[in-house]
Structure 1
Amino acid sequence: MHGGNTHTNARRRSVTRRDFVKAAGASGAATALAGCTVGGTETGSGALQWITDPTAADNAGKIRQALWDAGLSKDVYLDVIAKPSDTDATQSQYTRWLSADLADPDIMMMDSGWALNFINKAQVLNLSENLSGSTTDLIENKYFQASVETARGSDGDLYAAPLFPDFPTMLYRKDLVKQAGYNPEQENWATESMRWKKFSKVVADTKRQSDVNYGFNFQANIYEGLSCCDFNEFMTSWGGAYFGGRDTLFGPIGERPVTVGDQPVVDAVKMIRSFIYGPDAPNTLDGYEQISPNAVLSWTENPSLNPFVNGNAVAVRNWPYAIATAGAEEALGTEKLGVMPIPYGVTQEESEYENIGGPVAALGGWHNAVNPNSDQMENALAVIETMTKPSFQRAIVEITGWLPPNREVFQSKKVKQIPITGNYIEQLRIAGENAIPRPVTVVWPQESGKIAQLVHAGLSGDSTPKRAMNTLQEQLTAIENFNSQSDGN
């Protein structure tokens, strides 16, 4: 899903996915990649090379067979090579390879959070011009739209094919909330999200009647995860936006409105402060209970999850890997684990912007892009086409645990049979249908850092929410205006 300490979630996800599918051992190919070479693979330079997740590299033989079973010619041999577990290191490596116009690797797995950086620089192949019309139609019409939007260039064409999505949800202790007098099944918590105010009351009531130390855990450290994901969700669920809604998420830089100083964004900061300090503290909102520890201000994904998995928290916002972790029999088990869409502050009808408000989930996940310098272009495109086939996507679920990008496959029987996570597919589907991408442009790395710093200042009390968001408004506006003439809007 997700600088130096950014994407802690992405580093984590590589490991936990391997645990999830019980893949054994580390891939020697990862060492080759870290050394900036792609050679030394099983079949030498004649093989097609795909840089991907260590989970896939650990299961290379099974993936090749799944591709052949789905119709790929057996004349095409795919070397499956592990990328670095750190997503920023992967991005840097791709930049070096593509800037040098190297022919290898042929296919690269790219984070949906930064694939647009390569698309906007015209460093990856235009798939709309090179894939069959039926394949691009399939991606356009059957895939989760938030994922597709992060694979599309400013000309509207596709430059990457979504490989698997990642959507956060709200995990909660179903057994404890029932003991506190609530009925999640009767109230359809699994599919019908609730407002943050009610959520805070549920968590506060449950915590008071239980022996747990924590109420609601989330991630608010100063890192990419705060700007791209947690605060993006809080803000959007309140009807706010970084740049005036979904239509201007990806630019044009300097021409889109900067809207972080608007009241819904400030209210989102105040609500989070209520969760941490209580509604009687300064710059908070009435009616929102104190349910979160101060520790959230230093937490990333795993530190926020650990107390929940150990039975010491009522709820946690986290990614799909957390469902598999918490639902394991040696942890909470599925009888105690409840999952719901992330709560909201206002409905979409109450928001100024279209499709903003209501239950939202930050978009994570990965795409495949083709190296335009590949000397095996036809074979690379054949692999991309084959990976879009439902039969392959059903197979890859069993091999890697990756959730399918195709909405119909996502809801298939095969996916619902995934151990633990399959029990909560409907909640994840709702998250996917309401996913919000980060506003990736060439200036997002600058903007993301400013957002994380100033949102954290507003949450911690180093600044008031209003002053922090007004300062952020000024800084984002300055970045946008300075770079408005840059290429790659």
Structure 2
Amino acid sequence: MKTKYLPLLGLAMLAPLAHSETLSISCGAVGAELQLCKEGVDAWAAKTGNTVKLVSTPNSSTERLSLYQQILSAGSTDLDVMQIDVVWPGMLASQLLDLTPYIKDQAEFFPSMISNDTINGKLVAMPWFTDAGLLFYRKDLLEKYKLPIPATWSELSQSAKVIQDGERQAGNSQMWGYVWQGRAYEGLTCDALEWVYSHNGGTLINDKGEVDVTNPGVIAALNQAKSWVNTISPEGVLNYAEEEARGVFQTGNAVFMRNWPYAWSLAQASDSPIKDKVGVAPLPKGGEDGKHAATLGGWQLAVSKYSQHPQLAADLVSYLTSYEEQKRRAIKGTYNPTRPALYQDAEVTTAVPFFKDLYDVFVNGVPRPSSISGDKYGQVSNLFFNMVHVVLADSMSPEKAAETMQKKLERILR
């Protein structure tokens, strides 16, 4: 069966093929996501005799959430299966199908991930792949300049400047020291939370539901990040999402990059200018007394409760999150499995050695404050990334931004 690419509008007017049902699924398109999704759904379609349409959605997680909310609030049947962010189950739960009767192998997944996707006793999504922020670095350039992998953000800043200046003098005028996700969207929430947590600044809202964004760790983190713009990071980084950062790094024009694991397989592709020149490490600490921090990411598969084929849609979710399909995606696209057994699979660890080396980073990532803020998380994150962006653009001091966030977050959570 061929996967059909169709715009969202007009899907409902298309009749299913004879002797089969037609499902629609939304997949991301960052890196190799779309191609791997297409291959997976094609395999399921061939196995079951059904047809699957891939519906394009924005790469920006913030824009994608808005689209999903519009579709679901309208009770639309245009989407059967949706790829949703790890922080969305609580926000979308009331309009998602309870998968409990359909998924029989829940015990084979990380318990914390199943727990994340279980809202009020209902399994509203299945973990498809997990993520944690990582530091990608040019190991050839660190060796050339006799510099170690940076353990702290200050060390990264210093090494990035030394190598950036040296490479520019050697002829690469496009070289930058560090690229990351600076656009005002959910990706900046992830990056900034890592800066804050690594400086012992907490996670914005503590376990008691108290807002805490004016502490010294928050101020230090924002000052540090602000200092990168136009020194070791281009001014344009304030418009970078994942792919923009990867584009600069993979063309050989950055020393360090913060990104998700998917970037590894693309950097190692046969046509990559930096093939075999890249290393991966935990993100730096916020100082000697700080700690390594990696925001927990990841994507789930959920079924709309408005789907006209709920059992079939749940079967597609079960197939795409199966051991063999997750193994294929791990080897081919560096997508972190949500099944612990795959981190011991020799074929997986041979293809992606850092899966085993950085296992603790992936399973102990820093959670965004989505559980504690519930359906208000969207407002919390939106405020946070916008205020951080204002600081990075040098339009407000970190102290003033923190005071503003404190007051507005407390108001949101009342």
TM range (shorter): 0.7 to 0.9
In 1: Cα distance, 2:75 partner to 2:235 partner? 48
From 386, 391, 408, the counterpart of 1:453: 386
What residue in structure 2 maps to residue 484 of structure 1? none
In 1: Cα distance, 2:365 partner to 2:349 partner? 20
1:107-118 → structure 2 map (5 Å cutoff):
107-118=81-92
TM-score in terms of structure 1 length: 0.70
1:179 aligns with 2:160: no
What residue in structure 2 maps to residue 30 of structure 1? 6
What residue in structure 1 maps to residue 220 of structure 2? 267
Tell me the number of residue pairs that the alignment of Structure 1 and Structure 2 aligns: 398
The superposition leaves residues 373-431 of structure 1 with CA deviations (integer Å, 9 ceiling, x where unpaired) of 5454444444444444423422444676643221321442332455xxx2543466344
What residue in structure 1 maps to residue 31 of structure 2? none
1:152 aligns with 2:118: yes
Letter in 2 for 1:29: Y
What residue in structure 2 maps to residue 432 of structure 1? 362
What residue in structure 1 maps to residue 98 of structure 2? 126
Conserved? CA contact 2:3–2:42, under 8 Å: no
Tell me: CA distance 1:374–1:325, structure 2 relative to 1, closer, same or farther (3 Å): closer
In 2: Cα distance, 1:44 partner to 1:166 partner? 39
The superposition leaves residues 80-104 of structure 1 with CA deviations (integer Å, 9 ceiling, x where unpaired) of 3212231566545544554455666
The superposition leaves residues 289-320 of structure 1 with CA deviations (integer Å, 9 ceiling, x where unpaired) of x6334443343333333332222221111223
Letter in 1 for 2:355: I
Shift of 1:325: 3.1
Shift of 1:180: 1.2
Tell me: CA distance 1:239–1:40, structure 2 relative to 1, closer, same or farther (3 Å): farther
Tell me: CA distance 1:34–1:238, structure 2 relative to 1, closer, same or farther (3 Å): farther
Shift of 1:436: 2.8
Conserved? CA contact 1:243–1:259, under 8 Å: yes
In 2: Cα distance, 1:56 partner to 1:43 partner? 27
Q: What secondary structure does 2:146 align onto?
A: coil
In 2: Cα distance, 1:342 partner to 1:293 partner? 20
Q: What secondary structure does 1:234 align onto?
A: helix
Point out the more displaced range, 337-346 or 435-444.
435-444
Conserved? CA contact 2:201–2:217, under 8 Å: yes
1:467 aligns with 2:397: no
In 1: Cα distance, 2:399 partner to 2:64 partner? 37
Shift of 1:126: 2.8
Shift of 1:171: 1.2
In 1: Cα distance, 2:24 partner to 2:251 partner? 41
Conserved? CA contact 1:104–1:371, under 8 Å: no
The superposition leaves residues 24-68 of structure 1 with CA deviations (integer Å, 9 ceiling, x where unpaired) of xx964332x3435384455576355544454356325653179x5
Conserved? CA contact 2:41–2:320, under 8 Å: no
What residue in structure 2 maps to residue 198 of structure 1? 155
What residue in structure 1 maps to residue 51 of structure 2? 79
What residue in structure 1 maps to residue 336 of structure 2? 403
Letter in 2 for 1:269: L
From 443, 466, 471, the counterpart of 2:376: 443
Tell me: CA distance 1:316–1:262, structure 2 relative to 1, closer, same or farther (3 Å): same
Point out the more displaced range, 36-45 or 461-470.
36-45
C-alpha RMSD of matched pairs (Å): 3.4
In 2: Cα distance, 1:222 partner to 1:81 partner? 31
Conserved? CA contact 1:38–1:104, under 8 Å: no
Instruction: Give the gaps of 5 or more residues in structure 2.
Output: 29-33
Tell me: CA distance 1:89–1:262, structure 2 relative to 1, closer, same or farther (3 Å): closer
Shift of 1:175: 0.7
From 219, 223, 228, the counterpart of 2:185: 223
Q: What secondary structure does 2:105 align onto?
A: helix
What residue in structure 2 maps to residue 55 of structure 1? 35
Letter in 2 for 1:425: F
1:361 aligns with 2:327: no
In 2: Cα distance, 1:363 partner to 1:94 partner? 22
Letter in 1 for 2:81: I
TM-score in terms of structure 2 length: 0.81
Tell me: CA distance 1:34–1:344, structure 2 relative to 1, closer, same or farther (3 Å): farther
What residue in structure 2 maps to residue 253 of structure 1? none
Shift of 1:176: 0.9
Tell me: CA distance 1:326–1:140, structure 2 relative to 1, closer, same or farther (3 Å): closer
Tell me: CA distance 1:462–1:325, structure 2 relative to 1, closer, same or farther (3 Å): same
In 2: Cα distance, 1:305 partner to 1:400 partner? 15
Letter in 1 for 2:210: P
In 1: Cα distance, 2:249 partner to 2:81 partner? 38
Q: What secondary structure does 2:95 align onto?
A: coil
Letter in 1 for 2:117: A
In 2: Cα distance, 1:163 partner to 1:399 partner? 15
Conserved? CA contact 1:36–1:93, under 8 Å: no
Shift of 1:240: 2.0
1:323 aligns with 2:264: yes
What residue in structure 1 maps to residue 164 of structure 2? 207
In 2: Cα distance, 1:456 partner to 1:102 partner? 35
Q: What secondary structure does 2:275 align onto?
A: coil
Conserved? CA contact 1:84–1:90, under 8 Å: no
In 1: Cα distance, 2:392 partner to 2:222 partner? 6
In 2: Cα distance, 1:293 partner to 1:442 partner? 35
1:225-264 → structure 2 map (5 Å cutoff):
225-227=187-189, 229-245=190-206, 247=207, 256-264=209-217
In 1: Cα distance, 2:40 partner to 2:325 partner? 14
Conserved? CA contact 2:261–2:335, under 8 Å: no
In 1: Cα distance, 2:13 partner to 2:135 partner? 39
The superposition leaves residues 155-200 of structure 1 with CA deviations (integer Å, 9 ceiling, x where unpaired) of 36532101122333111111111111135xxxxx5xxx82222333
Conserved? CA contact 2:265–2:333, under 8 Å: no
Shift of 1:459: 2.8
Point out the more displaced range, 160-169 or 391-400.
391-400
In 2: Cα distance, 1:28 partner to 1:62 partner? 10
Conserved? CA contact 1:110–1:368, under 8 Å: yes
Q: What secondary structure does 2:375 align onto?
A: coil
Conserved? CA contact 1:56–1:82, under 8 Å: no
